[in-house]
Structure 1
Amino acid sequence: MKKLPREVYILGAVSLFTDIASEMVYPLLPLFLTGVLGASTLVVGLIEGIAEATASLFKVLGGRISDRIAARKPLILLGYGFPALLRPVLALAVAPWQVLTFRFLDRVGKGLRTAPRDALIAEVASQDTYGRAYGLHRAMDSLGATLGPFLAFLLLPVLGFRGVFWVSAIPAMLATLIVLFLLREKPGLARPLPPLRLSAFSSQYRWFLLVTGVATLGLSSNAFLILRLNDLGLAAAQATLVYTAYNLLYALLSYPLGSLADRLGARRMVLLGFGTYAFVYLGFGHSSAAWHGIVLFMLYALYSAAFEGSSRAYLAQIIPATEKASAIGLYHTLVGLLLFPASAIFGFIWQHFGSSTAFFTGAALAFAALVLFWLDPTSKSGYTS
């Protein structure tokens, strides 16, 4: 088996430490805002909405700048380093607008780094190792997302909210130092780029954007899955434990499924992801006992592990080398922006027609995406690849 480049491991370590830092903070923010700073739930929703929209919009910008300067490391360093330096803003916050400032600038960093990072992985790895490379990165990222809340759980009774926020700066700075001193690349020559137009990309790439858009409209926030667990009889603490187990299983499955994508083809693994997503949502719609929800949540980890890494590997295969980061950034921006109406539609259907109807709708859109991808008229290798 071909060895992965050192840059893949370095970027995996960077994501591991960054997610530890982020997930130490993220689950505590709503409680900190409402319980310490006196913010309303409306303010909490507004802050998170602005934060996620910012990350989505800046992903295409980060990719475009990276392609323009023909370098990845400067954007990666800025994207990881800038949020790490902002931790004191959160730890010292005495008003909700200061938390908003932190979340906004933190998500700017995430937006700027995502496409250059994924593009660098595609550039240093060979095409026959894309699945393993992205799978390893997703595994380390998800492991950080598992360790972060666990550390927060342990430290919160001892240090309080602000103490946890200060400690989260340690893994964030470690990630920045790894990028600064260990990550290497050979930058190309800066060059002007034509205006970003969908028509400039391949029909295969545009079809995948369409398919992913359909699938994303059926996805809900993970908060709705946790809420469904609560409806099925699990207490809040138990539901949180199931979510932690989901993140851990996601981390454990990402690399093996990425390796499988290299052997079977990334396209087949994307199809497996869509199929699993449809099955899980169909199951949540029919579920009537707590153990149903637990099993389905663990199967959802299979979807996440199969789709997230393989979709990146598939993207890397069908986008042009000269605008790799731009294409990846545009993809992430589309997905990020569509998640807003997706969750809003899901919540509306749940409220007015019941949770089962909401999950059945998501399953139908996932199945539609699977069929569209299976019948992709632009794929050179047809639906059998």
Structure 2
Amino acid sequence: MYVTLRDRPGADARTGTVVRRVSSTVVLLGVVSLLTDVSSEMVASVLPLYLTAAVGLSPLAYGFLDGIYQGVSAFVRIAGGYAGDRGGQPKWVAVLGYGASALSRLAMLPATGFAAITAVVTGDRLGKGLRTAPRDALIAEASDPGALGRSFGVHRALDTAGAALGPLVAFALLASVPGSYDSIFVVSFGFALLGLAVLVLFVPNLRPATGAARIGLRRALRAIAGRPLRRPLLAAGMLGLLTVGDGFLYLSLTERDDLAAGWFPLLYVGTNVAYLALAVPLGRLADRVGRARVLVAGHGALLACYLLAALPTGGFGLTLSVLLLLGTFYAATDGVLPALVSRLVPDEARGSGIAAAQTVVALARFASSLLFGLLWSLQGPGASLLLFAGLLVAAVPAAGFLVRGVGHE
């Protein structure tokens, strides 16, 4: 991965020169996300097994909690994006969100019942919702418009490096002391605190270059509801509704292939390694051929993932294929969506626009988790995955039609 650091976008994008540089701010934010994702993925990689095996939740109850994990952040994403836009302080809004998530790691220690765990997970996800849009607005502001896919790809690659390391740390802790979930929560807090320190001490608080950092609520809402965003948001919501949570996919693989519980965290590593390898190449591809095209095409990898995970028998090769396809899906969508949206709204409403897209996706995935948990309880994982795959076959071309021609610069 070739990256040359710089501080702010230069004249290359205006003159049409091919840009091969990524802002130092993007890299620093990537380091923050790397450390934070080591923390969060340490917990996330054991949470499905912890909740179903140790706590004893049913698939439907886990579906509710996974829905909280996927979707509760939607309630504050637009507030976080707007707060960063309105006050011209996106960095400090992000600091508040990262801090809330860090504290939730320690709060997991005394949480043993369903209600307590739900409250802790909710606090963590609210922190994520608050920080994500202001952080992505900082990335967009620090980047050349013609290289947004690349910049978001570099950030997501660093983010995903942490997401790959987190489950390895959790695996090592569980291997050393089986069932030592408390040690996972304590170590994850340490990583989260280190990431917060990097953000506070080293990341600049960039504002829109136009100087229009303060935007009224009415104007922000007009930007979100404006015509340029309608079709992309509709497409993103439709596809998000058919995106099964990672935890469900991993639990289905564990059930089918009879994997030992201690190996469960390593399933996250396979996905994140693929994401890490492909985030920058697919980001650059999105800059060249169109971000909307890559966003929709990435769901083809998700479709293949469902079909392979739904097979009645598996094995190492099929399991690895599912993990790699899931990582490919995230590499083609996670950073590409904010890169696409950030160019469809005015600069001063960038955080609000990105937050609107993320809110739609989060709410859709919340509904998806509840629905899939119910279907699993009624008919098992295989039939449920096949049903989602069939619906996705129809949704992908429909989404492609909705975003046709969107985001071409």
Calculate the TM-score normalised by the size of structure 2.
0.81
2:183 to 145, 160, 163: 163
User: Does residue 17 of the first structure (1) align with residue 43 of the second (2)?
Assistant: no
Q: Is the 8 A contact 1:284 1:296 kept in 2?
A: yes
Q: How far apart, CA to CA, are the structure 1 residues paired with 2:251 and 2:386? A: 16
1:221 to 240, 245, 269: 245
Q: CA deviation at 1:355?
A: 4.2
Which residue in 2 is equivalent to 1:367?
A: 393
1:94-116 Cα offsets, whole Å, 9 max, x none, are: 76655444333322211110111
1:127-142, aligned counterparts within 5 Å?
127-142=145-160
Runs of 4+ residues deviating >6 angstroms: 30-36, 42-45
2:351 to 317, 325, 336: 325
Q: Is the 8 A contact 1:90 1:99 kept in 2?
A: yes
1:265 to 282, 290, 293: 290
SS at match of 1:4: strand
Which residue in 1 is equivalent to 2:15?
A: none
Q: How far apart, CA to CA, are the structure 2 residues paired with 1:30 and 1:194? A: 41
1:1-385, aligned counterparts within 5 Å?
1-29=19-47, 49-85=67-103, 87-91=105-109, 99-156=117-174, 157-158=176-177, 160-187=180-207, 188=211, 189-194=213-218, 197=221, 201-237=225-261, 240-285=265-310, 288-290=313-315, 291-353=317-379, 355-376=381-402, 379=405
The one-letter code of the counterpart of 1:373 is A
SS at match of 1:318: coil
SS at match of 1:194: helix
Q: How far apart, CA to CA, are the structure 2 residues paired with 1:113 and 1:363? A: 32
Q: CA deviation at 1:220?
A: 1.1
RMSD: 3.1
SS at match of 1:226: helix
The one-letter code of the counterpart of 1:318 is L
Cα gap change, 1:184 to 1:298, in 2 (>3 Å): same
Q: CA deviation at 1:21?
A: 1.2
Q: How far apart, CA to CA, are the structure 2 residues paired with 1:9 and 1:381? A: 25
1:237-296 Cα offsets, whole Å, 9 max, x none, are: 455434321222212221222122223332231232022223332444456433334323
Q: CA deviation at 1:59?
A: 0.9
SS at match of 1:125: coil
Q: How far apart, CA to CA, are the structure 2 residues paired with 1:131 and 1:154? A: 34
Cα gap change, 1:184 to 1:24, in 2 (>3 Å): same
The structure with the largest helix share of the pair is 1
Q: Give identity over the alignment, percent.
A: 33
Q: Is the 8 A contact 2:340 2:407 kept in 1?
A: no
Report the number of matched residues. Answer: 382
Q: Is the 8 A contact 1:214 1:365 kept in 2?
A: no
SS at match of 2:334: helix
The one-letter code of the counterpart of 2:44 is Y
Q: CA deviation at 1:231?
A: 4.6
Q: CA deviation at 1:381?
A: 7.7
Q: Is the 8 A contact 2:104 2:121 kept in 1?
A: no
More moved, 346-355 vs 20-29: 346-355
Cα gap change, 1:204 to 1:241, in 2 (>3 Å): same
The one-letter code of the counterpart of 2:354 is I
Calculate the TM-score normalised by the size of structure 1.
0.86
Cα gap change, 1:40 to 1:263, in 2 (>3 Å): closer
Cα gap change, 1:9 to 1:218, in 2 (>3 Å): same
Q: How far apart, CA to CA, are the structure 1 residues paired with 2:183 and 2:290? A: 46
For structure 1, which runs of at least 5 residues remain unmatched after alignment?
Answer: none
Q: How far apart, CA to CA, are the structure 1 residues paired with 2:63 and 2:305? A: 27
More moved, 9-18 vs 64-73: 64-73
The one-letter code of the counterpart of 1:14 is V
Q: How far apart, CA to CA, are the structure 1 residues paired with 2:395 and 2:51? A: 38
Which residue in 1 is equivalent to 2:6?
A: none
Cα gap change, 1:29 to 1:226, in 2 (>3 Å): closer
